[in-house]
Structure 1
Amino acid sequence: MATPKKNKLEPAEIARETIKRMALQRIAPTPDNYRRIYNEVAELPTLEPLEDALNRALKELPRETAESSKWIGAWEKLLASRNWKALPAMLGAEMQDKVAQARQWPDAIRDLLRAWDAKQTSLTPQRKKETLERVLINFGSDPQLPEKLQAMTKSWSGYAGNSSELIDVGGVAENKAEIMESSELNKPPLPLSPRLAALQENINTLQGMLRQSLRNGLIPRLEGYPELQQEAGEIFALSDKAVKNEDWQLLARQLKTLIGRVELIGIEEQEIKHDLLALLKLLVDNIGELVSDDQWLRGQIAVVQTIISSPLEKALIKDAEKSLKEVIFKQGVLKHSLTEAKNNFKQMVATFIERLGTISDSTGSYHSKVEAYNQKLSSTDDIIQIGALVENLMQDTHEMQTNLLRSQEVLIEQRNKVEATEERIRRLELELTELSEKIRIDQLTGTLNRRGLEEAFTQEIARAQRGETDLSVVLLDIDNFKRLNDTYGHEAGDSALQYLANTVKEAVRPIDVVARFGGEEFVILLPNTKVKEAVGLVTRLQRELTKKIFLHNNERLLITFSAGISLFRMNEEQEVVLHRADQAMYLAKSTGKNRVLTEDDLMRARKNLQSSI
């Protein structure tokens, strides 16, 4: 420790310099100010005055009880009045209280142990325990706690099984005559100690959560069951009034009974939902057989079949609803266009018949006129009459030609209308076909969905069996996907799925099939590919994935996956080969993640496990 530098000035010089500085700085000439300036001049360390230190310490003390507030107030009053003559009396009283309290504790503990061990048929140990806990809750921070304990033990020894002899103070069963006077009953309960206050706060929080769960969760859930709903309402009312241990025990019993009955209802509703889904599936399958030639309606039925054949998901149902609404709208437009085309065609035929009749009438009239002109021409030799007959004939011929041209224009116009309607119908049919194709596509990643995978899998299996070629099946799963979702949100999870899907589609061949199998799982079908070649392709895919940068909110994230590979065997079901790939993928995850294992690795691991057992 460094030694303070000794000031070379003499005390008298320091005093003169102190007075000089106080005058120049216009500092009030108080003892405290003089001491402070003197220490600065003498280069002495400034020490906090004792009175200031005591005041600061008193302000930092907790005021949890009335006694502590009273004690702190007495000391603050003493320091403010500077009546130091009262200091010895205060210190003596404090010392006597501490000594008296220290002497009471052995007697209180001794009486408690003696009363606890005393056997009383009308006062069980459980009752004693509850009484002791309530005394500690109400008087745990009270300096008179030893006295309260002694009064409690006296009430136990005088208890004869008559509840009228006991009173309840803060939930504590005590003998009124031996514990406290009647005036003491009206005192407000003393504040709890910090630990007990925290315990009470936790109890209040749990009580509030229970009430909220009953009010917002269970009671509305039982709307179709009035008897159970009424019982839940009674439990809700009881949860608000529960204070004593007996109240909580009764509440627990009633709640346990109610939950048991609700579980039975849940099982029954689950069975009803299963039966309804089975009935709906049967109905949809039957409709699908009836409309097998209608490709648009068949696509809609495929959507419903996909939904009811897999676990129900709100997002999947919403996407299906959106697609079906779009298909229904397009079908409505198409129906209107078909009706319009039919009307146009009918109008064209009617116009054709009408014009044909007009042409027929015109032609008949023309032939009659020609015959009349022929007869007149053969009966006359007058050149003037012959010229008039020729002129009339040319005029009639021109009128007939005009009628023919007009009929031709009307028919051409009607034909153009029919052709335009047919073109609109073909365009709508093409859009409906594209919508039907969307049913096979996962809207998030752009890969095939489960429905599309089933169809592609069926085609590839048929091709492999027909040509006796290899078909490798890859099942990959993003590592730590749940942690990614929980840490960065579902938006980051969706972006990671799209990132992986795009990387896979860029890496595979045009003949390969990529599909989202569900959640964060993808399936890759590799035709004409052996297992060893599939391992090499997936390994390259892993390296390609780590080369690229996946950014979320300008933060680089590492995306990896674990993969399992199996080889299709002749006459094997899709589920069987997928199950082997899934088992290999699970082994890859459980042995470190970011690995590629095959069904052969899975068999070797099982053999090693059996040999070790």
Structure 2
Amino acid sequence: MADSSIGFPQEDALQHLLSVLQVEDTQFETKLQSLQNLLRRIKPNESANILRIKFKAVVRARDEAILRQALEEHATQAEIPEQVKETLNRVLDLLGEASQSSGSYSATLEQAIRELESAKNMVEIRRLSQHLIDQGTEMVAASNRFRDGLGEIASAVNQYQDRIRELEAEVEERTREAQEDNLTGSKNRRAFEIEAEKAIAQARANGSSICLLLLDLDHFKQINDTYGHQVGDDVLVNFAKLVRARIRREDALFRLGGDEFSVLFCHLTLDQAAESAHRIHQYVSKNPYVYKDLKFNLSISGGLTELDDGESMESWFKRTDELLYRAKRGGRNRIIWS
């Protein structure tokens, strides 16, 4: 038989307990729901002792929830533990270093450092920690974007450098073409003007000698008129090959125009350059020119000089050219040096 000392019906007692046990705790509410379901299964003839045990269980659960909430509130308001302080100091040091090396997030990090240093409890530290995590995540994302951007920039720079190299090669090729005689493959007058000035500067800097040879094919106009320009062109091509085969690699052959050629002899005295000029002259005069069924003799005239101290390019060229005309006026087929 049920004990009437409880003083109110079971359902009323349950509702009363539930109204008292208002604690915001999900787990406790789950426990209350379980106890409520249990109480609803109480039989009318169940003893008062059983009811009392079950009601005490509800009250104990309520007390545990209230105590747990109170302890949590007390913990959040308590002083920050020493271990947390040590960790926080290390974090602040790291943040300080990051603040010095960061551009975009410098102000954010400095503000976070100030707030962490003045934090009063764990609640503030939790909030700031989450804020820093969020900021750090964004910083990592920004860093990744920056890294990707650097990758794109590096790729663009590589492409730009490749293009520069292509342009440089193109410029070099065009410069070479602009300074090369298309017919004979020799360097042209423009190249002569450039290289002669450089050779003069180097000779003066090194105290070395440099000689200039000017050559003309004798009666070349008559060859063109008699045999045609195709033969005349072939004569020029073969003459250029002949000269290049009889000078050193460091010497340079130039076609100045028409049948006029020049040779720069670097680091040779006048006597040494005269030996080279003589070999060229002898070979041309002793070996007939042959083209298909044609065969005829060629001869050349030339003037050779060594650069004087302080002499200009114009003066040097004019002096050499005068010797060339002396050779022509003297009967051609000879080289005069002075």
Alignment of 1:280-299 (within 5 A): none
Shift, 1:523, TM fit: 1.7
Q: Is residue 598 from structure 1 mapped to residue 323 from structure 2 by the alignment?
A: no
Q: Aligned AA for 2:276?
A: L
Q: Aligned AA for 1:581?
A: T
Contact kept in structure 1, 2:304 and 2:337, CA below 8 Å:
yes
Distance 2:139 2:211 in 1: 77
Shift, 1:442, TM fit: 3.2
Q: Structure 2 residue aligned with 1:560, among 267, 292, 299? A: 299
Partner of 1:472: 211
Shift, 1:360, TM fit: 4.6
The number of equivalent residue pairs is 231
Q: Please state whether the residue corresponding to 1:416 is helix, strand or coil.
A: helix
Q: Aligned AA for 2:210?
A: L
Q: Please state whether the residue corresponding to 2:248 is helix, strand or coil.
A: coil
Contact kept in structure 1, 2:281 and 2:335, CA below 8 Å:
no
Distance 2:142 2:202 in 1: 64
Alignment of 1:81-100 (within 5 A): none
Q: Aligned AA for 1:427?
A: E
Q: Aligned AA for 1:585?
A: L
Q: Does the C-alpha gap of structure 1 residues 411 and 598 become closer, same or farther in structure 2, counting only changes over 3 Å?
A: closer
Q: Structure 2 residue aligned with 1:490, among 213, 229, 245? A: 229
Give 5+ residue unaligned stretches, structure 1. Answer: 1-355, 380-388, 600-613
Partner of 1:413: 152
Shift, 1:508, TM fit: 1.5
**Which shifted more, 589-598 or 504-513?**
589-598
Distance 1:451 1:533 in 2: 26
Q: Is residue 427 from structure 1 mapped to residue 166 from structure 2 by the alignment?
A: yes
Contact kept in structure 2, 1:496 and 1:559, CA below 8 Å:
no
**Which shifted more, 433-442 or 524-533?**
433-442
Q: Please state whether the residue corresponding to 1:597 is helix, strand or coil.
A: strand
Q: Deviations over 1:30-68 (max 9, x none)?
A: xxxxxxxxxxxxxxxxxxxxxxxxxxxxxxxxxxxxxxx
Distance 1:489 1:559 in 2: 16
Partner of 2:64: none
Distance 1:376 1:450 in 2: 87
Q: Structure 2 residue aligned with 1:517, among 253, 256, 261? A: 256
Partner of 1:508: 247
Partner of 1:581: 320
Shift, 1:478, TM fit: 0.7
Shift, 1:520, TM fit: 0.7
Shift, 1:572, TM fit: 3.3
Shift, 1:524, TM fit: 1.7
Partner of 2:197: 458
Distance 2:154 2:323 in 1: 65
Q: Aligned AA for 1:444?
A: L
Distance 2:182 2:309 in 1: 33
Contact kept in structure 2, 1:456 and 1:513, CA below 8 Å:
no
Give 5+ residue unaligned stretches, structure 2. Answer: 1-101
Q: Please state whether the residue corresponding to 2:235 is helix, strand or coil.
A: helix
Shift, 1:539, TM fit: 1.9
Q: Aligned AA for 1:566?
A: T
Q: Deviations over 1:180-229 (max 9, x none)?
A: xxxxxxxxxxxxxxxxxxxxxxxxxxxxxxxxxxxxxxxxxxxxxxxxxx
Q: Is residue 445 from structure 1 mapped to residue 181 from structure 2 by the alignment?
A: no
Distance 2:270 2:148 in 1: 70
Q: Aligned AA for 1:495?
A: D
Q: Does the C-alpha gap of structure 1 residues 547 and 431 become closer, same or farther in structure 2, counting only changes over 3 Å?
A: farther
Distance 2:293 2:241 in 1: 20
Distance 2:317 2:164 in 1: 42
Contact kept in structure 2, 1:499 and 1:550, CA below 8 Å:
no
Shift, 1:514, TM fit: 2.4
Distance 2:314 2:143 in 1: 71
TM-score computed with the length of structure 2 as normaliser: 0.53
Q: Deviations over 1:262-319 (max 9, x none)?
A: xxxxxxxxxxxxxxxxxxxxxxxxxxxxxxxxxxxxxxxxxxxxxxxxxxxxxxxxxx
Distance 2:133 2:315 in 1: 89
Q: Does the C-alpha gap of structure 1 residues 571 and 393 become closer, same or farther in structure 2, counting only changes over 3 Å?
A: closer
Larger Rg: 2
Distance 2:250 2:212 in 1: 14
Distance 1:571 1:559 in 2: 37
Q: Is residue 569 from structure 1 mapped to residue 308 from structure 2 by the alignment?
A: yes
Shift, 1:477, TM fit: 0.6
Alignment of 1:350-365 (within 5 A): 360=105
Alignment of 1:9-48 (within 5 A): none
Which structure has more RCO (C-alpha within 8 Å, separation ≥ 6)?
Answer: 2
Q: Structure 2 residue aligned with 1:499, among 235, 238, 252? A: 238
Structure in which a larger fraction of residues adopt helix: 1
Q: Does the C-alpha gap of structure 1 residues 375 and 589 become closer, same or farther in structure 2, counting only changes over 3 Å?
A: same
Contact kept in structure 2, 1:588 and 1:597, CA below 8 Å:
yes
Q: Please state whether the residue corresponding to 1:515 is helix, strand or coil.
A: strand
Alignment of 1:118-267 (within 5 A): none
Contact kept in structure 1, 2:288 and 2:298, CA below 8 Å:
no
Distance 1:377 1:462 in 2: 79
Contact kept in structure 1, 2:189 and 2:256, CA below 8 Å:
yes
Distance 1:504 1:430 in 2: 29
Shift, 1:482, TM fit: 0.8
Partner of 2:68: none
Shift, 1:395, TM fit: 9.3
Q: Please state whether the residue corresponding to 1:492 is helix, strand or coil.
A: helix
Contact kept in structure 2, 1:515 and 1:523, CA below 8 Å:
yes
Contact kept in structure 1, 2:284 and 2:300, CA below 8 Å:
no
Distance 2:262 2:147 in 1: 62
Q: Please state whether the residue corresponding to 1:415 is helix, strand or coil.
A: helix
Q: Aligned AA for 1:428?
A: L
Distance 2:260 2:277 in 1: 14
Q: Please state whether the residue corresponding to 2:278 is helix, strand or coil.
A: helix
Q: Please state whether the residue corresponding to 1:472 is helix, strand or coil.
A: strand
Distance 1:469 1:360 in 2: 65
Contact kept in structure 1, 2:287 and 2:297, CA below 8 Å:
no
Q: Structure 1 residue aligned with 2:265, among 512, 526, 531? A: 526
Aligned Cα RMSD in Å? 4.3
Shift, 1:403, TM fit: 5.3
TM-score computed with the length of structure 1 as normaliser: 0.31
